[in-house]
């Protein structure tokens, strides 16, 4: 555990020594790990005990399993990742929409393990105040708030991926107490998730309130809760639109209400970030800082460095130095000389030392979406041009034609100075400022009451993010057109900018699923199959229904809990058929 950030390592050390069983896995329903010794009275005695179990919940989300699944669930099924010539078969099956319920990437275990760990803290931490005077009511409040929010976030990952899920809102003491939960409708699940977030919001630390930078961005604070709320409300609106008239869980005007709430959540985050920015300037006696649109970081240095050398100082600060002022929540990793699994999620998928990982970028991806003067194309990948040629430094394990993901693995732009496999320290970013800005733009454009002013504001958000990423912001080769704005036109710009800005961060597939829910059809996202040289027609056929956009439930879960029902898109699959 020596390469985990100190904020988790210090908190988790007691828990790791006393409850090593939490690090294993089991095949019980939801793979909730029986907590063993940590439920015994002699464990929940001190502040360190509480902090240790809390840290374990964060480490669940930072584990190899969780981060790899965040990438596979949120990116691989979309248009920006595919399998390389030498491939992992289970990844190939997912790209080709040949997903069976025995595929290990359909196993949701790690997220329910995080939920179970959070439940333990929520239920047992209050008793610690009776034994340890150093564990105050204020400590309890902050820790409990973080665990409500983390439980909500883990459930939220599952709703977006599987749709109909069980909600695990109580801890499990041992195997004999293992419950059989029924799945709930996604709108009901999102309501319960929002209820957890509403509990968490007044309890968690104010953003910037911790004494260390790593804690301020690596633990869930007020801004992180608001960002999750905004995301949840986007999905509530999309599901409400899809299910309107099909269930009494949706009332007329619900989608509009959720979009309005999303806009407010986003604005609350941005206002708080702006206030903190101004406060920091005051503290540093920088009373007249240069103002940039939306207080975004800007690419600095000589124009020649950007136009000829393709240097993006924005990338370097966000993904190289890490914990930039645009960060909201990023799980912390720090390098050391001892290997462990917690840094392997990103590295296993995208590679290290500039070498290819388990996935690569489709050959036509960059040229389809990016302009030639967009620095992100050369920061997020190792491409030398938009036609797909990779850099000479791709590494011996990569084919010369492979375009690899450099985001996270490259410390600086253009893609280079790669993190080493022996010392990998890329944080896993969950939310950052531009993500929240673009969520707000999406809600502004999607709501039924969208006015010309709403569309203009959404367009402005897209434009400022896009402009700061161009080599020469005063001479953009193909500037965005802000005239004659329509709802559909602005929404197209928003979703494209989310792809350009947030690609490879676990967002793209979910953006496309929301689009399909709003439009009540998959017709406009089947294009993701075009990344395949063959079988694209088969993939499009398997994406013909909304059900097919969600994952099947893992076969072991169906065996252990007879109340679970398989996703209808996979009920007719012949499980004895060889996957090919």
Q: What is the pLDDT of residue 158?
A: 98
Q: Taking phi first (over 0 means left), then psi (-120 to 50 degrees means alpha), and beta for anything else, what does residue 259 get?
A: alpha
Per-residue DSSP letter, 75: I
Cα 557 to Cα 453: distance, rounded to the nearest angstrom: 49
Of all residues in the chain, the percent with pLDDT exceeding 70 is: 86
**327: three-class secondary structure by DSSP:** strand
- Name the pLDDT band for 8 (thresholds 50, 70, 90): low
| Full-model pTM | 0.92
Q: Is the CB of residue 129 less than 8 Å from the CB of residue 174?
A: no
Nearest to residue 498, comparing CAs of 556, 559, 437, 452? 437
- Write down all domains in the chain, each with its CATH number in brackets: 1-204+521-563 (1.25.40.390)
Q: Would the pLDDT of 261 be above 90?
A: yes
Cα–Cα distance list, 248 to 139, 163, 253, 412, 454 (Å): 41, 18, 13, 51, 30
Count CB atoms within 10 A of the CB of residue 485: 17
Cβ atoms of 497 and 459 within 8 Å: the answer is: no
User: Considering all CA atoms of the chain, what is the largest pairwise distance in Å, rounded to the nearest integer?
Assistant: 69
pLDDT tens profile 346-399? 999 999 888 899 999 999 999 999 999 999 999 999 999 987 655 544 444 455
Q: By mean pLDDT, which of 94-103, 335-344, 376-385, 483-492 is the weakest?
A: 335-344
Helices (H), 104-185: 109-128, 137-162
CA atoms within 13 Å, Cβ hemisphere of 204: 27
| Residues 6 or more apart in contact with residue 119 via CB below 8 angstroms | 147, 151, 168, 169, 170, 171
Mean pLDDT confidence for 453-459: 97
Closest CA to 54 of 128, 157, 133: 128
CA atoms within 13 A on the CB side of 379: 28
pLDDT per residue over 46-83, tens digit each?
A: 999 999 999 999 999 999 999 999 999 999 999 999 99
Mean pLDDT of the chain: 88
pLDDT band at 578 (very low <50, low <70, confident <90, very high): very low
Task: Classify each residue of 169-184 as buried b or exposed e, where b means 16 or more C-beta atoms within 10 Å of its C-beta.
Answer: eebbeeeeeeeebebb
Indicate the length of the chain as a whole number.
Answer: 580
Work out the pLDDT band at 411, boundaries 50, 70, 90: very high
Find all residues with CB under 8 Å of 527, minimum gap 6, and list them. Answer: 79
Q: Which two tokens stand for residue 492?
A: 């197209």
DSSP 316: I
- Exposure string (b/e) for 406-433, b if CB count within 10 Å is 16 or more? bbbbbbbbbbeebbeeeebbbbbbbbbb
The whole-angstrom separation of Cα 307 and Cα 472 is 7
- Bridge partners, 412 (sequence order): 416
């Amino acid at each position: 555990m020596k390469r985990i950030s100190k904020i988790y390592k210090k908190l988790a050390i007691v828990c790791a020594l006393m409850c090593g069983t939490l690090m294993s896995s089991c095949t019980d329903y939801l793979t909730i790990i029986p907590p063993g010794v940590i439920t015994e009275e002699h464990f929940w005695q001190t502040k360190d005990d509480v902090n240790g179990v809390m840290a374990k919940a964060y480490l669940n989300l930072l584990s190899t399993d969780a981060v790899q699944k965040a990438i596979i669930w949120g990116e691989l099924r979309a248009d920006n990742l595919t399998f390389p010539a030498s491939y992992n078969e289970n990844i190939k099956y997912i790209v080709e929409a040949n997903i069976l319920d025995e595929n290990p990437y359909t196993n949701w275990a790690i997220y329910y393990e995080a939920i179970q760990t959070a439940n333990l803290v929520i239920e047992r931490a209050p008793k610690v105040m009776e034994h340890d005077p150093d564990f105050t009511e204020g400590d309890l409040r902050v820790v409990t708030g973080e665990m409500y929010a983390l439980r909500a976030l883990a459930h939220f990952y599952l709703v977006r991926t599987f749709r109909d899920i069980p909600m695990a809102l109580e801890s499990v003491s041992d195997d004999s107490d293992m419950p059989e939960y029924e799945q709930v409708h996604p709108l009901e699940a999102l309501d319960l998730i929002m209820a957890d977030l509403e509990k968490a919001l007044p309890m968690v630390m104010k953003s910037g309130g911790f004494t260390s930078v790593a804690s301020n961005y690596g633990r869930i604070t007020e801004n992180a809760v608001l960002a999750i709320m905004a995301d949840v409300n986007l999905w509530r609106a999309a599901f409400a639109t899809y299910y309107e008239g099909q269930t009494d869980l949706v009332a007329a005007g619900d989608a509009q209400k959720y979009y309005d709430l999303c806009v407010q959540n986003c604005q609350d985050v941005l206002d708080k970030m702006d206030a903190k920015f101004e406060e920091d300037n005051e503290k540093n006696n920088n009373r007249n800082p240069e103002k940039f649109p939306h207080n975004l970081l800007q690419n600095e240095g000589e124009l020649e460095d950007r136009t000829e050398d393709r240097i993006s100082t924005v990338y370097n600060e966000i993904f190289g130095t890490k914990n930039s002022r645009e960060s909201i929540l990023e799980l912390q990793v720090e390098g050391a000389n001892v290997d462990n699994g917690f840094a392997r999620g990103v590295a296993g998928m995208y590679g290290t030392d500039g070498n290819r990982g388990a996935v690569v970028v489709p050959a036509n991806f960059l040229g389809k979406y990016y302009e030639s003067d967009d620095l992100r194309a050369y920061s997020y990948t190792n491409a030398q041009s938009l036609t797909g040629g990779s850099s000479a430094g791709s590494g011996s394990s990569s084919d010369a034609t492979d375009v690899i993901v450099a985001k996270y693995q490259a410390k600086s732009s253009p893609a280079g100075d790669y993190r080493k496999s022996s010392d990998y320290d890329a944080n896993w970013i969950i939310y950052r400022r531009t993500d929240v800005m673009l969520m707000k733009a999406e809600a502004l454009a999607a709501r039924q009451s969208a006015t010309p002013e709403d569309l203009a504001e959404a367009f402005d958000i897209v434009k400022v993010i896009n402009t700061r990423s161009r080599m020469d912001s005063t001479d953009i080769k193909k500037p965005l057109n802000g005239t004659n704005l329509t709802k559909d036109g602005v929404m197209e710009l928003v979703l494209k900018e989310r792809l350009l800005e947030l690609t490879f961060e676990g967002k793209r597939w979910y953006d496309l699923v929301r689009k399909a829910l709003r439009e009540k059809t998959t017709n406009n996202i089947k294009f993701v199959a075009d990344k395949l040289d063959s079988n694209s027609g088969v993939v499009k056929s398997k994406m013909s229904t909304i059900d097919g956009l969600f994952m099947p439930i893992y076969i072991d879960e169906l065996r252990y809990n007879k109340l679970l029902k398989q996703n209808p898109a996979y009920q007719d699959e012949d499980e004895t058929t060889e996957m090919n």
